[in-house]
Structure 1
Amino acid sequence: MTLPDGVERRSIAGETGLATRGQPVYGEPTEDGWRRWNPNRSKLGAMLETGMQTGLSGGETVLYLGAASGTTVSHVADFAGPTYAVEFAPRPMRDLLTVATDRSRLFPLLNDAREPTAYAHVVEPVDVIVQDVATRGQARVALENRRFLDDGRLLLAIKARSEDVTRQPENVFDDVLEELREGYEVLETASLEPYHDDHLGVVARPD
């Protein structure tokens, strides 16, 4: 497993796993300034735990789509460079703003990831897009936000049940990947089980 600088595998509270340095956010165990990165609560954490080659090295400029209350994006901001966190729901945004008070590189944006023109004047070109949105049209979200990614990686968690609860997840994944290839080259895919059911991790780059 290749981990970015600022992410280590450590034993914290008797359990070995990924960890970053920063203030705790969601009740995760901490030790000596390190905080446990729980892959059961983080799709990106699960991608790293399953050994996917994310291309993350640390210090990258990141656009995070679907930041919610800040569980995963707080870990990202611990090791990355400027991190733009897009979330459209006001309630989790309040929590995200609290998370950002301890992280000078984290910039919360109350916007809809399906409408990137609303934040295009704020977000600079980025090295990485991390996408974790629970909506139909997940490929379209990635394609619309491709404008921010000149070169680098898209790290996408496809949620089958958010696309169509009536179809087999494998068929949903195939359809999303086919649409995604309109603007990306898919480098790697992997199931995120046992951490997340009916989720597919995807590493891609602009085509």
Structure 2
Amino acid sequence: MALATRGEPVYGEPTADGWRRWDPHRSKLGAMLELGLDTGFEAGDGVLYLGAASGTTVSHVADVAGPTYAVEFAPRPVRDLLTVCESRPNLFPLLADARQPASYGHVVEANLDVIVQDVATTGQATVALENARFLAPDGRLLLSIKARSEDVTREPSAVFEEALETLESSYEVLGTRKLDPFHEDHLAVVATPRAPPAE
């Protein structure tokens, strides 16, 4: 049984009877689901997707989610993303930097159910902290940490440990899993916002 969603094809994925195969080799979130990680992601959820690129994964997300805000920094892939949005009226592309959520805070609604983060930059945990403002108190962060984007000279395990320590200031980590064999030197993280301290 293969992971699939119903929607218009985007990246040459196999299709049958309106279903499109969600290729875990092309998608970190797809790999999380394929490996059985409990993401808490459900149909109809409101989603903020950070690092949407040309739309490979976010197209699958939008096939099943509610309002889906797709943030991408590079203009070239955003042009492809616009085409993906044509058949998905719930998918909203945003040409913006995920490290600067104030630049799209006036567009993205608060109390979303899920943040999916797949950005190739240093300080990936910090990006998650900065965007926590959009997440509902019982929402989920689905983060893919790319060790080589943080520091190509360090052992991935050390990079992952440091990122998790950073996350713990604002998130409770519910689960982690390396994404081998689909994505080398990547760690999937599922987390939920920490409740503010009682006054």
Normalised-by-shorter TM-score class: over 0.9
Q: What's the offset of the Cα at 1:57?
A: 1.7
The whole-number CA distance in structure 1 between the counterparts of 2:158 and 2:164 is: 10
What is the aligned partner in structure 2 of residue 197 from structure 1? 184
The 5-angstrom pairing of residues 159-198 of structure 1 reads: 159-198=146-185
Determine if the alignment matches structure 1 residue 46 to structure 2 residue 31.
Answer: yes
The whole-number CA distance in structure 2 between the counterparts of 1:182 and 1:92 is: 33
Q: Which of 78, 83, 96 is equivalent to 1:93?
A: 78
Q: What's the offset of the Cα at 1:150?
A: 2.5
SS at 1:150 equivalent:
strand
Deviations 1:145-204 (A, max 9, x none): 000012210000000000000000000000000001111000000010000000000000
The whole-number CA distance in structure 1 between the counterparts of 2:136 and 2:31 is: 26
Deviations 1:14-34 (A, max 9, x none): xxx200000000000100000
The 5-angstrom pairing of residues 32-111 of structure 1 reads: 32-111=17-96
The whole-number CA distance in structure 2 between the counterparts of 1:127 and 1:112 is: 21
The 5-angstrom pairing of residues 119-158 of structure 1 reads: 119-125=104-110, 126-151=112-137, 152-158=139-145
Deviations 1:82-107 (A, max 9, x none): 00000010000000000000101000
Amino acid at match of 2:4: A
Q: Give the structure-1-normalised TM-score.
A: 0.92
Deviations 1:52-86 (A, max 9, x none): 00001210000000000000000000000000000
Q: Give the structure-2-normalised TM-score.
A: 0.96
SS at 2:3 equivalent:
strand
Root-mean-square deviation (CA, aligned residues, Å) is: 0.5
Amino acid at match of 1:44: L
Amino acid at match of 2:115: I
Question: May I ask how many residue pairs the two structures share in their alignment?
Answer: 192
Q: Which of 9, 15, 25 is equivalent to 2:10?
A: 25
Amino acid at match of 1:74: S
Amino acid at match of 2:24: P
What is the aligned partner in structure 2 of residue 12 from structure 1? none
* Structure 2 residues without counterparts, runs of 5 or longer: 195-199
Segments ≥4 residues shifted beyond 6 Å: none
